[in-house]
Structure 1
Amino acid sequence: MTLWQPDPTSLRRPAYLSLAEQIARAIADGKLEGGARLPTHRRMADDLRLSVQTVSRAYEELIRRNLISGETGRGTFVCQNSREPDPPYLPERLGEVIDLSILKPICEPMHLERMKKALAWLSETLPPSSALSFRPNVVFPRHRTIAMEWLRACGLEVAPGNISVTNGATAAMTVALMSAAPPGSKVATEGIGHHTLTPLASYLGLTLEGLAIDDQGIIPESLDECCRVTGIQAVFVQPSVINPTGTLMGLERRNALVAIARKHDIAIIESDVLGPLVEHRPPPIASIAPERTLYFTSFTKIVIPGLRIGYLVAPDRYVAAVANRHLVSNWMATPIVAEIASRWVSDGTAMDLVNWQREALRARHSVAAEVLSGIPFLSHPQSLHIWLPLTGERTEEAFVAHARLQGVAIAPGASFRISNYPWHPAVRISLGSTTEQELRSGLGVVANLLRGDLEHLLLAI
């Protein structure tokens, strides 16, 4: 049994959440180590003069966060640090929740109708190779040629032989990392960056180095020092509307990072998942340093979520490695989805939906600016989200939990923290994951919590 005990004088309403926060902080601070056994529900309730039901709810909340686990007949224990990382979004939408945690484009019935029509067209025109062939080079030559058109809209001029069709951005990112950074090597990236990158690097046997960032992303001096001191193999960047902070890297900064990459002869992995959605952006880093940049983009975040297809562009020296890594990790992209993407690129549907998305996002950003008036946050006109730093003594866990109690799910900022990068509590709020009416209501809850109406809200529970 651990010697640490919660402080009953620090409990606030709702007591179960306050108790859960005390235990969570004790775990984070190392006062409760992995494997430590917690008191029984009855013992904790007696010690703190709480009801057993209150303690049970606190333990349930900690189990939901994967901080503790209950073992029948043995008791309740703090989870070991080796547990799998939690996604920043709700794994599933349970009950009446306004889900602003998952990053999605805005979708209306029109999107579903477009997909239905595409599937009907496909049922009449599906090429035999898309259904019957196992060989990527047999299936995708035409798709790569069409991909050139889309990549041109992204600011790249590339040959079809340098393009791999992938099952979206995550598959492309995995193949790019496997190709540019062998197991045991180090990869640098933004100190606040892509939430999937941390577990992916761990699974691939890579070490991540979080670099200092400002309002344009990675600070060049930080990358230069990292190259000199730690000997990194590659740098992973999101220069066009960085997720989650919503910043855009200027041309001068892009050129500076390229110069450092060339100086130290490292690879660049460029994520450009918003592609042509972002207006008036500088050219991709891949167009500045095509000899060392593995670039990928996709359709999921800007056209329709179900169009899980993307393009990975590799320099000549990485083409063979990319093809081999793609074979062992995915074999090839799903041909049927690739057919739809190629048709939509060719007939203009994809770009029409991108332009529609851009205008729809303007309206969502206007809603955010209105409801959160006077509350500082970071965003970009074409970002699918806002990044909201928390002020005062608010902790992310408590703020996210309080919002959840009010029926609103938001993403904790720490999910995007790379290694031990200096941290200030924040949350990411998706603007496109629900209806405009629900967004307005959800942001209203967030605004009330931030403006000090917490006590009023809690008394209503």
Structure 2
Amino acid sequence: MPRSRYKSLVDAFAADIRSGHLPPGTRLPTHRQLATEHGLALVTASRVYAELESMGLISGETGRGTFVRETSLPPGQGISQSVVAAGMIDLNFNYPSLPGQADLLRHALRQLALSGDLESHLRYQPHAGRLHERASMARHLVERGLNVPAEQVLIVSGAQHGLAVVMMTLLKPGDVIAADALTYPGFKTLAETLHLEVLPIPVTDQGPDLPALEQLCQRRSVRAVYSMPTLHNPLGWVMGADQRGQLVAIARQHDLTIIEDAAYAFLADNPPPPLAEMAPERTVYVSGLSKNVATGLRVGFVAAPAQWIAGFERTIMATTWNTPGVMTAIATAWLDDGTVSKLEAHKRADAQARQALAREVLTGIRTISHPSSYFIWLPLGEEARADQIAMALMREQVSVSPAEPFSITPHVPHAIRLALGSVDMDSLREALVKVKRVVGFYA
């Protein structure tokens, strides 16, 4: 088939989709039907669809067919923290806050202004943070079940920066890292930016498919595994002690580095020990104070084996030099005086209340969540499409995230994630009622 004719067919499909002649959700002919209808080789028909998929106009779904996508959904929905339009209820991005937190900040700033050490915050800090501040982080980690010396804790500019420091230091372009097939979008963005190959670990409602991880390691040279064992985002699981033991055993057998993301771990009551406690020689523990305190604080921490600390310090120097002294001083003061522990307890109760409200409103709809988490995963029926539902909810002034930003497999499941922590309870109820109505309409 001449290139001009092949391109003409791609252009014709694209024009029909963009004009609405082929509306979102339209099931397209199979590859074989397309080849027969237009007198093409099967490989050329597949190439037509591949190009349309790369343009973001269609999606192929195993066992279901090829469908026109909802192209009016804003790009990056579920990843970008764009400004929410006036009147929009945001169930897309989590930034949980409690009444009175602004007063905490006001008091902390006054106390900092009265301190005798104020001038030191105008100077460069050690790349990993001052040792007494690292000690505050280490004491906090004991509450998470992780015992690590202060010298093995580094202060970073939020958990996302911590992940970047770890991956930039330990991995190089082309390296293979395994991660849950549904995972944190910020990890995906980092892996793409660093040109890493990400292999998906199949997931269940209770945790990752660890026998599948074992098989991946037998077939490929996997360097690391990225895991959220305590309150997984978006599925909300907390891996049991046996599962954690199996993951550690696989990591030791195949010499994997474990990157443990614990951003939401504070919400789980009495979870099993962190992976970093079970396999301290190969695990890097990354967390921060964005979710349990405030997203604007931008203070995080990395706990790691001693042999990697110097490398992480160099990467911190190359990326931010050091975490801003004023932010770190406020964060460590709150760690030391118990403010962080109190906020964590209040947010656990807040998340539980929001989950209870969601269970009440969404009765009759299948959901996957943890009773103390700030999000809900909502799998959709066979005929429902996540992009259509997300767009319909936007028209109802509710912003949600479809599954695509969380998925690292070519065929994205039809599901949406609801973030519960960014709006007041009355607005949350209003939004959930709309979610139930829209999902029921498309089911």
Q: Kindly provide the amino acid, as one letter, of the partner of residue 434 in structure 1.
A: V
Give distance in 2, aligned partners of 1:289 and 1:408: 42
**CA distance in 2: counterparts of 1:327 and 1:396, whole angstroms:** 42
Q: Could you tell me how far 1:163 is from its partner in structure 2?
A: 0.5
1:335-384 superposed Cα distances (whole Å, 9 cap, x missing partner): 11111111111111111111111111111111100100111101112211
Instruction: Give structure 1 regions of 4+ aligned residues with deviation exceeding 4 angstroms.
Output: 5-8, 15-18, 20-29, 33-37
State the distance in 2 between where 1:245 and 1:338 align. Answer: 31
2:416 maps to a residue whose letter is: V
* Farther-moved stretch of structure 1 (252-261 vs 199-208): 199-208
Alignment partner, residue 421 of structure 2: 432
Distance 1:34-1:201 versus aligned 2 partners, 3 A rule: closer
Q: Secondary structure at the residue paired with 1:218?
A: coil
8 A Cα contact 2:261 2:287, kept in partner: yes
TM-score, normalization: structure 2?
0.85
- Would you say 1:19 and 2:23 are equivalent positions? yes
Offset at residue 119 of structure 1 (A): 1.6
Deviations 1:183-212 (A, max 9, x none): 221111101001111221121121111111
> Residue 395 and residue 137 in structure 1: after superposition, are their counterparts in 2 closer, same or farther (change >3 A)?
closer
Asked if 1:32 is matched to 2:52, the reply is yes
**Aligned 8 A contact 1:378 1:387 in 2:** yes
Do structure 1's residue 400 and structure 2's residue 390 form an aligned pair? yes
Question: CA contact under 8 A between 1:314 and 1:322: conserved in structure 2?
Answer: no
8 A Cα contact 2:231 2:267, kept in partner: no
SS at match of 2:296: coil
The AA in structure 1 aligned to 2:244 is R
Contact 1:261–1:268 (Cα < 8 Å) also in 2 = yes
Partner secondary structure for residue 23 of structure 2: helix
**Take 1:195 and 1:182, find their aligned partners in 2: how far apart are those partners?**
20
Q: Distance in 2 between matches of 1:321 and 1:36?
A: 39
1:149 deviates by 1.1
| Partner of residue 170, structure 1 | 160
Residue 56 of structure 1 corresponds to which residue in structure 2?
A: none
Could you say what the CA RMSD is over the residues aligned between the two structures, in angstroms?
3.0
1:273 counterpart residue number: 263
What whole-Å deviation, never above 9, does each CA across 1:408-443 have from its counterpart, x for those lacking one? 0001111100143x5420000011110100100000
CA contact (8 A) 1:133 1:139 kept: no
Moved more, 122-131 or 327-336: 122-131
Q: Which residue of 1 aligns with 2:337?
A: 347
The residue aligned with 1:242 is 232
Aligned length: 408
Is the aligned partner of 1:188 residue 2:178? yes
Q: In the alignment, residue 425 of structure 1 is paired with which amino acid?
A: H
Deviation sequence 1:16-48 (CA, Å, 0-9, x none): 6983555999999547376799xxxxxxxxxxx
Aligned partner of 1:19: which letter?
Answer: P
Counterparts of residues 53-452 of structure 1 (less than 5 Å): 62=71, 65-66=74-75, 87-88=78-79, 91-105=82-96, 107-125=97-115, 127-128=117-118, 130-136=120-126, 140-420=130-410, 423-452=412-441
Look up the SS of the partner of 1:131 in the other structure: helix
Give yes or no for contact 2:127–2:316 (8 Å, CA) kept in 1.
no
| TM-score for the superposition, normalised by structure 1 | 0.82
Cα distance 1:24–1:115, how it changes in 2: closer, same or farther (>3 A)?
farther
Name the % identity. Answer: 29
CA deviations on 1:213-264 (whole Å, 9 max, x unpaired) are: 2233222212211112110111000001110011110010001010110011
Structure 2: distance between partners of 1:127 and 1:32: 60
Unaligned runs of 5+ in 2: 1-7, 31-46, 58-68
Once the two structures are TM-superposed, the CA of residue 332 in structure 1 deviates from its matched residue by 1.2
Whether the aligned pair in 2 keeps the contact of 1:258 and 1:289 (CA below 8 Å) is yes
Matched letter for residue 234 of structure 1: A
